[in-house]
C-alpha cells in the first residue's frame, strides 16, 4: 500500500482556455521543430550514438511541465518518461461510477491508438497491435508508481496482449531481439530512467533497439530531440531556431513560453553568483527534480560544486493555490503523444521542487475558465 496517494480527488485547479491553448501550441511547435532535418543535424555533436538512431516511431506518454505566472505559462521541462499519467487522468474524473466507466473507455481507446501506432510504425505496417509487451523499470515493485504499472499491465491484458512487468535483469536481450520468460517481446513500454541505455544492465536492450528487433517506447531518439534538458537552451535561443529553419511564429512562441536557459559554463561565475536568485540550476543528466537547486536557496559551497553541464534557467516561480485550509505550490503537466493532447493535470506540492509525496498534495484535476 502506498502512503500519500499521488491522486488528490475532489480538488480542482483552474486555468484559462487561453493558457491551455498556449501550452498545446508549444507542444505542436516542438513537434514541428523536432521534424526539421537541420534541427536534428544541429544536435548531432551533443547526442550519443544511440540517440542518433531513428527507430521510425515516436514516444508514448510525453510530459510537458509548466509553471503558470502573471504572463502566462512557462515551460519548465519535458519528459519522455511521464509516469503518473493514468493517475493524473483519474484525478480529473468526476467521482461517479458512470463517469469513471466513460473516462476509462475513452482513455483506453486513446492508449490503444497510441501503442498501436507505435508498433505499426515500428513494423512498417506488418503489426496492428503488440502481441507480447514488457513494462520495464528498475526494481519495478519497489517504485512509487508501481500501481500505475499494474494498471498498464491490466490494460494490455484486456486488449488481448501477453504482458509482464519486469526488471531489465529479467530480460534476455541482444541483436536478435528481446525475450522474457521464454517469450519473444515485440514492444517494451520503457519506464526506466537510463534514457540513453548507458548502463551495463541495458546493454542487450540497446543492441536490440539499434538493430530494430524490438519496439522501445519511449526511446533515446525522442529523448535526445525533446527531453534532454540541454534542448531548453536551444529553444530559448532565437538565432539557433532561425538557423534550423523554424518559422517566425514558432520562434516567437518558444521565446514567450520557454524561460531563458543557458549552460553554466557560458556564464561568468562571479556575475552569475551575484544574480543567482534570478535562476534555477538543473543537472543536465538527472530526472524527477533530482539535484535541482533554486538560486535563492543555494549556498556558496554548493554553487562552487556546479559543473559546466549544469542547465541555468531563468526562475519562474510556481503558482500558489489554496485548497481548503492548505496552500500548495502548483505546476501543470500536459500528457501528450506526438502533437496530440492526452490530458492535463495539476501537481500540488510544498518544498523547493515538485514531488508527489507532499501530504494532501499530488495530482489534482484541472478545470477550464474563459
pLDDT at 94: 44
Task: Give the residue ranges of the chain where pLDDT is below 50.
Answer: 1-9, 94-103, 288
45: CB partners within 8 A, 6+ apart: none
What cell was used for 369? 475558465
Q: What is the DSSP letter of 226?
A: I
pLDDT at 4: 35
Closest CA to 367 of 94, 26, 107, 82: 94
Closest CA to 56 of 155, 132, 126: 126
Q: What is the pTM of this model?
A: 0.90
pLDDT at 370: 83
List Cα–Cα distances, 95 to 89, 100, 107, 219, 360, in angstroms. Answer: 12, 7, 16, 35, 18
What cell was used for 139? 526494481
Q: Give me the count of residues in the chain.
A: 370
pLDDT at 101: 34
Instruction: Provide the H-helix boundaries in the chain.
Output: 17-34, 37-43, 49-52, 85-91, 97-122, 146-159, 203-210, 220-222, 231-235, 238-243, 248-257, 269-274, 300-304
Amino acid at each position: 500500500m502506498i502512503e500519500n496517494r499521488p491522486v488528490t480527488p475532489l480538488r480542482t485547479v483552474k486555468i484559462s482556455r487561453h493558457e491551455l491553448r498556449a501550452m498545446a501550441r508549444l507542444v505542436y511547435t516542438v513537434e514541428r521543430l523536432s521534424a526539421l532535418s537541420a534541427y536534428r543535424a544541429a544536435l548531432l555533436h551533443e547526442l550519443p550514438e544511440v540517440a542518433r538512431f531513428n527507430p521510425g516511431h515516436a514516444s508514448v506518454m510525453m510530459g510537458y511541465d509548466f509553471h503558470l505566472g502573471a504572463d502566462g505559462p512557462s515551460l519548465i521541462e519535458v519528459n519522455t518518461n511521464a509516469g503518473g499519467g493514468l493517475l493524473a487522468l483519474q484525478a480529473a474524473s468526476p467521482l461517479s461510477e458512470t463517469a469513471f466507466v466513460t473516462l476509462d473507455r475513452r482513455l483506453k481507446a486513446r492508449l490503444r491508438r497510441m501503442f498501436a501506432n507505435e508498433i505499426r510504425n515500428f513494423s512498417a505496417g506488418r503489426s496492428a497491435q503488440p502481441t507480447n509487451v514488457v513494462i520495464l523499470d528498475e526494481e519495478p515493485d519497489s517504485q512509487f508508481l508501481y500501481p500505475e504499472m499494474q494498471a498498464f499491465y491490466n490494460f494490455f491484458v484486456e486488449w488481448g496482449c501477453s504482458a509482464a512487468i519486469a526488471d531489465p535483469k529479467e530480460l534476455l536481450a541482444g541483436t536478435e531481439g528481446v525475450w522474457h520468460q521464454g517469450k519473444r517481446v515485440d514492444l517494451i513500454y520503457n519506464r526506466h530512467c537510463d534514457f540513453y541505455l548507458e548502463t551495463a544492465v541495458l546493454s542487450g536492450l540497446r543492441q536490440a533497439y539499434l538493430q530494430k528487433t524490438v519496439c522501445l517506447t519511449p526511446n533515446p531518439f525522442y529523448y535526445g530531440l525533446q527531453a534532454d534538458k540541454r534542448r531548453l537552451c536551444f529553444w530559448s535561443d532565437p538565432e539557433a531556431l532561425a538557423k534550423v529553419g523554424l518559422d517566425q511564429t514558432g520562434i516567437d512562441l518558444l521565446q514567450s513560453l520557454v524561460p531563458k536557459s543557458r549552460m553554466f559554463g557560458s556564464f561568468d561565475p562571479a556575475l552569475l553568483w551575484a544574480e543567482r536568485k534570478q535562476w534555477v540550476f538543473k543537472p543536465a543528466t538527472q530526472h524527477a527534480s533530482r539535484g535541482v537547486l533554486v538560486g535563492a536557496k543555494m549556498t556558496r559551497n554548493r554553487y562552487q560544486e556546479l559543473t559546466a553541464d549544469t542547465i541555468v534557467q531563468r526562475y519562474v516561480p510556481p503558482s500558489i493555490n489554496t485548497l481548503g485550509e492548505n496552500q500548495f505550490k502548483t505546476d501543470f503537466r500536459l500528457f501528450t503523444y506526438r502533437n496530440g493532447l492526452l490530458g492535463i493535470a495539476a501537481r500540488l506540492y510544498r518544498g523547493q521542487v515538485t514531488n508527489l509525496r507532499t501530504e494532501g498534495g499530488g495530482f489534482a484535476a484541472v478545470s477550464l475558465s474563459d
